[in-house]
Chain A
């Protein structure tokens, strides 16, 4: 019982860390572009592409899992 609860908590901690890591990777990408002197419009267009690609990739994984 204790083992199951601990496994649950460990799983949660790992998931939260992975999610935060995903966010940080996106923010790093934006910050690198800003540091390189890109305008908001350029950064926004690049981020739109990343967002659309991530959604398309998730959809593909879901379709493959069905």
Chain B
């Protein structure tokens, strides 16, 4: 029995190492548009990054709830924050042409919040079962 548990353990460890080594972050490649300023281009990239993180975080929440590693109440708290980040990114996108610098700064803020939330999410999913 003990041998079986140890074997299971090392299989999981191997899986984790393999997953971690295979999953390197993919570089975002947006189309370069010479008709817009570099500020607009930079704001577009930041907005797209923020949307990417929000989408991935929402998918993680769904997986965590479906796999029962997070309670509905905990997940709702994180999802509500994500919804706020989505509203902020959409507001930032509305400023793209009129005020690209503000758009970029708003999107950066939303992106930072979404990244922080995603880190919390990873910690909460397993930390709760400790």
Question: A residues bordering B, Cβ < 8 Å?
Answer: 3-4, 6-28, 30-31, 34-35, 37-40, 43-44, 47-48, 50-52, 54-55, 57-59, 61-63, 65-66
**Can you report 7 A-B residue pairs in the complex whose CB atoms are below 8 A from each other?**
A13-B16, A20-B25, A23-B52, A35-B29, A44-B48, A51-B51, A62-B65
Closest residue of chain A to B45 (Cβ to Cβ) is A40
Q: Residues 53-92 of chain B: 1 if any A CB is under 8 Å from the residue's CB, otherwise 0?
A: 1111111111101101001110110010011001000100
Residue numbers in B under 8 Å from A66 (CB-CB):
72-73
Decide: B59 and A24 in contact? CB cutoff 8 A: no
Residue numbers in A under 8 Å from B68 (CB-CB):
65
Closest residue of chain B to A65 (Cβ to Cβ) is B72
Tell me how many residue pairs across A and B have CB atoms closer than 8 Å: 160
Decide: A24 and B23 in contact? CB cutoff 8 A: yes
Q: Assuming A3-B9, A57-B62, A65-B65, is B72 touching A51 (CB within 8 A)?
A: no
Decide: B12 and A51 in contact? CB cutoff 8 A: no
Q: Is B20 an interface residue (CB 8 A)?
A: yes
Residue numbers in A under 8 Å from B4 (CB-CB):
none
Closest residue of chain B to A22 (Cβ to Cβ) is B56
Closest residue of chain A to B121 (Cβ to Cβ) is A19
Decide: B59 and A16 in contact? CB cutoff 8 A: no
